[in-house]
Amino acid sequence: MTEPLRLSKRMSELGLCSRREADEWIARGWVRVDGVVVSELGSKVFPHQRVSVERQAAAEQSKRVTILINKPVGYVSGQAEDGYQPAIALVTAANRWAEDHAPQQFHPTQLRSLVAAGRLDIDSVGLLVLTQDGRVAKQLIGEDTSVEKEYLVRVSYNKPGKLPDSDLRRLNHGLSLDGKALKPAKVRWQNDDQLSFILREGKKRQIRRMCELVGLKVLGLKRVRIGGVKLGDLPTGQWRYLSADEQF
């Protein structure tokens, strides 16, 4: 017999929203199971039962914004730490890119529940996603995410000569971190001192640690793409909205 699941977990599995959003919608009476309103948190459902949400939920979700920042060095992705400012501090009306043609008007209420969907180290730069939309967060940082992230990485080799082809192959597939094999990556030379990395996972300081294992020192790291969304010409320290026709 199939075991029942928490309604919030089932809603997340169905791609309706995040678990946190699901609990909020359940508490507001916006969720129906087989046509009956369920408003008790912690309620369980069977996989075959039909889950639907009221129009108010979809309307509220459509107002939630996703913001792209070109993060400079010296800012942390999430909560402030050790005196360093979080990237969300850059999201002001003055810092919005002049060439952002999205129809949204900036309002400070958009900063509520705006969370980083993935990390970018304090000494790394480039594309960082902040979102109020639980669906976007789940897509980018959920356990089963397969969204590609592309980085340009300037390196120096700390041994005589050039990095052997065998070590370049190990960067593509064959390294382990924290006792666990890494998923296959796509790593190739862009020029004499710059590599392109395309990853489908994001362990802490992963690229720097991968490079250390083959004798490379990272001098600079920039994220230029997440899935189908590119950093493009967005200036350092500025931000724009994710447009309606962009998909990760």
Q: What angle do CA 192, 198, 199 make, to 5 degrees?
A: 135
Report the alpha-carbon distance of residue 184 to residue 148 in Å, rounded: 11
Q: What is the DSSP letter of 103?
A: S
DSSP β-ladder status, 5-6 and 44-45: antiparallel
H or E element: which one contains 167? helix 165-172
Report the alpha-carbon distance of residue 208 to residue 219 in Å, rounded: 9
Crossing angle between the packed helical segments 134-141 and 19-27, to the nearest 10 degrees = 160
User: Is residue 144 annotated as a catalytic residue, yes or no?
Assistant: no
DSSP β-ladder status, 115-116 and 125-131: antiparallel
Report the alpha-carbon distance of residue 78 to residue 86 in Å, rounded: 6
User: From the candidates 23, 34, 121, 165, which is the catalytic residue?
Assistant: 121
Q: Give me the active site residues, please.
A: 121
